[in-house]
Amino acid sequence: MTPYDKLIFELSTKDRVGYSLPNPFGDYDLSKDIPQSLKRTEETYLPEVAELDVVRHYSNVSRKNFGIETGFYPLGSCTMKYNPKINEEMAALPNLRGVHPLQPVNTVQGSLHIYYETARMLSELSGLHQFSLNPFAGAQGELAGLMIMKAYHLKKGNTHKTKVIVPDSAHGTNPASATVAGFDIIEVKSNQDGTVNIKALKAAITDEVAGIMLTNPNTLGIFEKDILKISRLIHQVDGLLYYDGANLNALLGYARPGDMGFDIIHINLHKTFSTPHGGGGPGSGPVGVCKKLRSFLPAPTVIKKRNQYDFKYEQDAIGRVSSFYGNFSVVTKAYSFMLTLGKENLSKVGGLSVLNANYIKASLEDEYFLPIKGLCKHEVVFDGLKDKSTGVTTLDVAKRMLDFGVHPPTIYFPLVFHQSLMIEPVENESKETLDHFIGILKQIAYEAKTDPEKVKHAPYTTVVRRLDEVLAARQPKVKYKDLI
Ligand SMILES: *Cc1c(COP(=O)(O)O)cnc(C)c1O
């Protein structure tokens, strides 16, 4: 334990200061100008430390953190992809970083060019006609998409269309977004391999169905081979197909949701297009639509007329979903990512992410239980260790992985299996990194057989050992004062 393992509050010494600056107002008491009602009634409680303590505190805290830049991070469904430094440099260019959203439109033509071109590239990659980059996150893109679905039906007088179909394997945000948009959910059961059960789907389709929300490949990494049939069935009742684009990585360069019949899509720029995420942002969840829905996109849209860019406020627009035009710095990073890869390399992303997932799958099949055989796409789901007699659970395996310095995969999701271990290696990890990871998982499987207690009590090398996760979620202590 070093002094810097303490909380910064514990380092505090009364009246110690980081900086002492001369008062630019001399003897004048500024606090006289602040109305009494706005003044604090209690002392603030802030740590009193020297500048050097602050620097050491944050440097030490950063070393306790884990990120894509410290190690392998195969978190399923999250596409934890390295963000090349050039993207940050581009987003930080003074002319991009320093613009104000209220500047006259003729002074921000360069920024609007980036916005417009990024939207065009997303159209090209996904096969959808037009995009709005305004939503701040995937889930917000979903909500915008569902609001577009609703606006489309209302405009057509389809007031009876109040239901949205969501498969039971969907990401939790899907039913949430549809509910917030005012739809009722019809849950349809999946087949054993996680694909949509066509019989159950047919039974669920009525004239009240406004649309379906799907992700393809699905949450189990399996490609929905009946997608054209599903698309026909939904379109037959004038329903719309919504594509949850969080799994777009698997398709890049190989297939396009628009060609499969999808009408609305959201894409997570902070997954497929490499902006760092986790810990809450910043994100960007562009929403794209087919031609017949373009006038419903959130306002304003960016248009190009005679080589000039401008904003347009469509009459049908669902309204604004964000202040101004979304997270522009994330858009810039995605634009830089696409341009630096170029068309040829961008179309390798899907292939390599699928290859990596299948390499891991084939390498671990002997030790871990693989419920769905055959080719997977960008991620592979195991249902815990193959040998169930040891009593070692997926949680134990994940905790033991921490001792080897890799981030565990997503665990206990999807819910269709009891011991899910969902691994998404992304496209840009080397074979050496994958082999290292496979070696660790084999070693843990061996330990589970020979010394199960060791795995059950892991981790051993981390700052804290096993936490009471239920208590931490139910009664989080997020302030130092809660602890004392
Ligand atoms: C990440 C994810 C989302 C939500 O995206 P956020 O940006 O976190 O709101 C939706 N669906 C799937 C399948 C995802 O993996």
In this prediction, residues 157-167 reach a mean pLDDT of: 96
> Under CATH, what is the fold of the domain 99-346?
Aspartate Aminotransferase; domain 2 (3.40.640)
Beta-carbon neighbour count of residue 157 at 10 Å? 8
CA 480 and chain centroid, separation: 30
In short, whether 394's Cβ falls inside 6 Å of ligand 1 is no
Look at residue 371 in the predicted model and tell me its pLDDT: 94
Beta bridge partners of 214: 243
Q: What residue ranges do the domains of the chain occupy?
A: 3-64, 99-346, 349-473
39-81 pLDDT per residue, tens: 999 888 889 999 999 999 999 888 888 889 989 999 999 999 9
Residue among 267, 268, 410 whose CB has most ligand 1 atoms within 8 A, to mutate: 268
What's the gap in Å between 196 CA and the centre of ligand 1? 20
In this predicted structure, what is the pLDDT of residue 171?
Answer: 85
pLDDT band at 397 (very low <50, low <70, confident <90, very high): very high
pLDDT of residue 25: 85
N-term to C-term CA, the chain: 20
pLDDT level of residue 258 (50, 70, 90 thresholds): very high
Name the band, by pLDDT with cuts 50, 70 and 90, for residue 310. Answer: very high
Query: What is the SS3 assignment for 161?
Result: coil
Q: What is the CATH number of domain 349-473?
A: 3.90.1150.10
Under a CB-based contact definition with an 8 Å cutoff, are residues 60 and 5 in contact? yes
Of 17, 7, 10, 9, nearest to 46 by C-alpha is 9
pTM listed for this prediction: 0.90
438 versus 192: the higher-pLDDT residue is: 438
Q: Is the CB of 166 under 6 A from ligand 1?
A: no
pLDDT grade, residue 254 (50/70/90)?
very high
pLDDT score of 464 more than 90: no
Pocket test for ligand 1, best of 79, 171, 247, 353 (most atoms within 8 A of CB): 171
Instruction: Name which residue sits closest to atom 14 of ligand 1, judged by CA.
Output: 246
If you average pLDDT over residues 355-362, what whole number do you get?
A: 98
pLDDT band at 376 (very low <50, low <70, confident <90, very high): very high
Instruction: Using the mean position of ligand 1's atoms as its centre, give its distance from the Cα of residue 219 in Å.
Output: 11
Average of per-residue pLDDT across 133-161:
97
CA of 137 to the centre of ligand 1 (A): 8
Instruction: List pLDDT tens digits, range 401-449.
Output: 999 999 999 999 888 899 999 999 999 999 999 999 999 999 999 999 9
Core vs surface per residue 260-270: b (16+ CB within 10 A) or e:
bbbbbbbbbbb
Q: What is the model's pLDDT at position 5?
A: 81
pLDDT above 70 covers a percentage of the chain that reads 99
- State which of 51-65, 202-216, 462-476 shows the largest mean pLDDT: 202-216
User: Span 224-253, mean pLDDT?
Assistant: 95
Check pocket membership of 327 for ligand 1, CB cut-off 6 A: no
Give 210-229 pLDDT, tens digit per residue: 999 998 998 888 999 899 99
